[in-house]
Structure 1
């Protein structure tokens, strides 16, 4: 199947799933914040996808591969399944919270802050993808692609800038949707990111030449001057 067709199908399926979870839980399609979040996510994601397609089609092809691959540690397969379930539960929770049961009431200015932070996170994501052609969706060493350590761009600041961007995007999304419950639940997703960061680093130190030296030069994993 052509790469463009794979990308289009993936976007359609993902959008349909998000709509079903968010608006199905909400019980209505009349949810402005929900549609605003969808526009932010798929608008930002679309821009990043087009950018990668133009600059690094090999990376886009790698991103379109199955989330379950040979050479991928078992713990990462379990992690991706668990995070997928948590993500789906999180979206459904926010639909229930904000619209169906109206547990949360959040001021509009917080939603605006959240939208700005989501936009910033996609800006960071774009820079990360442009810097690292080996940014596979699974943990593995890509020997067939000449996998090597990347230390330029955002990787000169923190060792896992994509996870750092996700750490901004997830709680910011809860703000856009106006969900205090979603903001609290996002702690579980962030904990998952931290756990994967630690586990992935063990794989990279053990199997990717030069990574241990890189980790000594760039001290921080996710947050500069913190961790």
Structure 2
């Protein structure tokens, strides 16, 4: 199967799964915020995918590989499975919260702010992918592709800008969907990102030449001036 076909299948599967989790838990398709979030996520994801396909097809091919690979640390395999389960539970919770049981009542301006933040996060995601051709979905050193330290663009500000973008996108998504419980649950997902950041850095320090010097120059992992 070609990379283009794999991308198309992956997007269709994600759309169906996300839709079933959100609207199935909500108990209705008449949920404007749910559709707004789907448009934001798949519109933004589609734009980023097209950019990568045009600028860096080798990266797109790498991104389409299995999320569980032989040269990947065991802890990362466990992490990705756990995060996948948490993500699915999170989407279902927000459908239950915002629509089926209406536990939450969130003002429209917060949902609008969330939409803006999701859009900003996708802008950062696009910038990161165009800067770093070694941005694999799993933690590993890509010796065959000449893996090296990337220190330009957003990597000159924080060492893990893709994770920083995710830390914006996840709570912002809960705002778009109007779920206070989803916002609270998102803290678990953010904690997972922080944990993976620390664990990934151990691998990079130990196995990627020049990373120690890079970490000394760029002090912050995710948030400038904080951490």
TM-score class, shorter: over 0.9
Separation of aligned partners in 2, 1:71 and 1:209? 18
State how far apart, in whole Å, the 2-side matches of 1:101 and 1:65 are: 39
Q: Distance in 1 between matches of 2:122 and 2:140?
A: 24
Q: Secondary structure at the match of 2:25?
A: helix
Gaps of 5+ in 1: none
Q: CA deviation at 1:49?
A: 0.2
Q: What are the Cα deviations for residues 54-74 of structure 1, in whole angstroms up to 9, with x where unaligned?
A: 000000000000000011000
**In the aligned structure 1, how far is the partner of 2:108 from the partner of 2:63?**
35
In structure 1, the partner of 2:224 is: 224
For the residues of structure 2 that align with 1:223 and 1:99, how far apart are their CA atoms? 33
Q: Which residues of 2 match residues 1-227 of structure 1 at below 5 A?
A: 1-227=1-227
Deviations 1:6-59 (A, max 9, x none): 000000000000000000000111100000000000000000000000000000
**Alpha-carbon distance in structure 1 between the residues aligned to 2:87 and 2:3:** 26
Following TM superposition, the consecutive aligned residue runs of length 4 or more in structure 1 with deviations greater than 4 angstroms are: none
For structure 2, list consecutive stretches of 5 or more residues without a partner in the other structure: none
Q: Deviations over 1:134-166 (max 9, x none)?
A: 000000000000000000000000000000000
CA–CA distance in structure 1, aligned partners of residues 183 and 127 of structure 2: 26
1:110 shift after superposition:
0.2
Counterparts of 2:163 and 2:188, CA distance in 1: 14
Q: How many residues align?
A: 227
Q: How far is the alpha carbon of 1:207 from its aligned partner?
A: 0.3
Structure 2 CA distance for aligned equivalents of residues 83 and 154 of structure 1: 25
Query: Alpha carbon RMSD of aligned pairs, Å?
Result: 0.3
